[in-house]
């Protein structure tokens, strides 16, 4: 089954080089909200179908295409409905391919050649609302601590105390072991001997946001709200925090750590949504899905070695776990380090 999604996150009008829905082509790039996530995969799938139809191609086995329309808001009415329908028909899938990792070109420090990473698992996620309620008042007679001050301190504690570096206890270690030969000396030796060098490698990886994301559960403060008037101390302050959970941890473990870090009963913690990291899909030589994907990647990006990786973002494919144990996340485009912020 091949998945992609049509929806995009909202586009604020300001801050764009070109209008966000123009799809303008400039210097070899298509600009527009959702170009990478996930229009490129949608168009890739549709163009491939069109080409196969034109050529009268007859596939050896049947396959499904699933195009979701609400991936960015958890896929409740898209992917989840597709899964329900397939389950009601008793369908089992050989493998699922969805968006995800890509051909990384200069993204992994120390690796010269572009490398294709197939996401064989996906991080979990937990989103929390932190709320502080304190008596409101006039700014001329402020109390020692306000709802805003208490919440800011809690949020700051979360940022200053990241969750532990878990490198070596998760599947990201397999990625570095398989790519060891791509690094120059002495990194190649270190990557091939993680049993000895993982303490050093783990410290290096946490220095940049993209590699930090694969060694730990990350903490991102995404919404912060309080106050409506400059001379009024508000009753309520609220922040939303999103954690992406490393495959070696669970929602429950993360929640316990967060409670201990905040350690302030005035901060009410409520869970907006959560799910554990996804199971690791097989990537051995006998696995049909992984091997098919690897062969196909080689035929298009011939210079790129292929390795399994951890998808740091979430995809619709997580809803398919009861239909197959083989779920792969790969978007067929090259990504450079400057593209990571796009």
Ligand X SMILES: CCCCCCCC/C=C\CCCCCCCC(=O)N[C@@H](CCSC)C(=O)O
Find, among 105, 224, 250, 233, the residue nearest to 170 by Cα. Answer: 250
Q: Residue 219 is encoded by which pair of tokens?
A: 């903490």
Rounded to the nearest whole angstrom, what is the least distance from the CB of residue 302 to ligand X in the complex? Answer: 21
Kindly indicate which of the ranges 88-96, 189-197, 260-268, 310-318 contains the residues binding ligand X, using the contact rule CB under 6 A. Answer: 310-318
How many angstroms separate the Cα of 148 from the Cα of each of 122, 129, 233, 237?
Answer: 34, 14, 9, 5
Interior angle at CA 268, CA 267 and CA 269, nearest 5: 110
Q: Are 77 and 69 in contact (CB under 8 A)?
A: yes
Beta bridge partners of 241: 128, 221
Contact between 262 and ligand X per CB under 6 A: no
Residue of minimal Cβ distance to ligand X: 313
Q: Are 99 and 37 in contact (CB under 8 A)?
A: yes
Q: Are 290 and 282 in contact (CB under 8 A)?
A: yes
Orientation of helix 251-262 relative to helix 147-160, angle to 10°: 120
Query: Cis peptide leading into 125, omega within 30 of 0?
Result: no
For ligand X, the binding residue among 82, 93, 101, 307 (CB under 6 A) is 101
Kindly indicate which of the ranges 16-24, 98-106, 158-166, 231-239 contains the residues binding ligand X, using the contact rule CB under 6 A. Answer: 98-106
Q: Residue 296 is encoded by which pair of tokens?
A: 């196909």
Distance CA 170, CA 210 (A): 16
Kindly indicate which of the ranges 86-94, 101-109, 151-159, 277-285 contains the residues binding ligand X, using the contact rule CB under 6 A. Answer: 101-109
For ligand X, the binding residue among 168, 227, 313, 332 (CB under 6 A) is 313
Q: Is 71 a catalytic residue?
A: yes
Rounded to the nearest whole angstrom, what is the least distance from the CB of residue 11 to ligand X in the complex? Answer: 14
Contact between 315 and ligand X per CB under 6 A: yes
Nearer to ligand X, 264 or 339 (CB): 339
Binding mask 210-229 for ligand X (x = CB under 6 A): xx--x---------------
Rounded to the nearest whole angstrom, what is the least distance from the CB of residue 318 to ligand X in the complex? Answer: 9
Q: Is 7 a catalytic residue?
A: yes
Of 17, 25, 38, 71, which residue is the catalytic one? 71
Binding mask 24-43 for ligand X (x = CB under 6 A): -------------x------
Q: Residue 131 is encoded by which pair of tokens?
A: 């709320």
For ligand X, the binding residue among 7, 70, 72, 325 (CB under 6 A) is 72
Contact between 96 and ligand X per CB under 6 A: no
Distance CA 73, CA 10 (A): 11
Contact between 99 and ligand X per CB under 6 A: yes
Kindly indicate which of the ranges 136-144, 192-200, 208-216, 299-307 contains the residues binding ligand X, using the contact rule CB under 6 A. Answer: 208-216
Q: Are 246 and 170 in contact (CB under 8 A)?
A: yes
3-class state of residue 84 by DSSP: helix
Catalytic residues: 7, 71
Kindly list the residues in this chain that would bind ligand X in the complex (CB under 6 A): 37, 72, 74, 99-102, 107-108, 210-211, 214, 311-315, 335, 340
């Amino acid at each position: 089954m091949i998945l992609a999604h049509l929806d995009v996150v909202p586009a604020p009008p300001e801050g764009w080089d070109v209008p966000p829905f123009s799809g303008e082509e400039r210097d070899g790039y298509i600009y527009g909200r959702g170009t990478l996530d996930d229009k490129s995969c949608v168009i890739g799938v549709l163009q491939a179908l069109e080409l196969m139809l034109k050529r009268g191609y007859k596939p050896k086995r049947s396959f499904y295409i699933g195009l979701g329309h609400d991936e960015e808001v958890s896929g409740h009415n898209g992917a989840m409905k597709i899964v329900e329908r397939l389950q009601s028909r008793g369908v089992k899938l050989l493998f699922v391919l969805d968006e995800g990792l890509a051909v990384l070109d200069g993204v992994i420090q120390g690796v010269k050649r572009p490398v294709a990473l197939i996401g064989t698992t996906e991080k979990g996620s937990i989103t929390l609302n932190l709320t502080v309620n304190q008596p409101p008042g006039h700014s001329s007679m402020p109390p020692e601590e306000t709802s805003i001050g208490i919440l800011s301190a809690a949020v700051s504690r979360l940022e200053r105390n990241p969750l532990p570096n878990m490198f070596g206890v998760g599947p990201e270690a397999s990625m570095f072991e398989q790519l060891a030969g791509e690094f120059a000396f002495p990194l190649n030796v270190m990557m091939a001997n993680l049993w000895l060098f993982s303490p050093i490698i783990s410290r290096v990886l946490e220095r940049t946001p993209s590699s930090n994301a694969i060694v730990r559960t990350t903490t991102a403060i995404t919404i912060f709200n309080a106050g409506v008037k400059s001379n009024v101390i508000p009753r309520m302050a609220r922040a939303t925090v999103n954690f992406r959970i490393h495959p070696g941890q669970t929602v429950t473990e993360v929640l316990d750590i967060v409670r201990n870090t905040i350690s302030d009963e005035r901060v009410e913690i409520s869970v907006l949504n959560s799910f554990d990291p996804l199971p690791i899909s097989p990537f051995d030589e006998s696995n049909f899905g992984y091997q098919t994907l690897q062969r196909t990647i080689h035929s298009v990006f011939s210079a790129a070695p292929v390795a399994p990786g951890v998808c740091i973002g979430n995809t619709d494919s997580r809803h398919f776990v009861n239909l197959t144990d083989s779920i792969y996340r790969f978007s067929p485009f090259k990504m450079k380090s400057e593209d990571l912020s796009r």
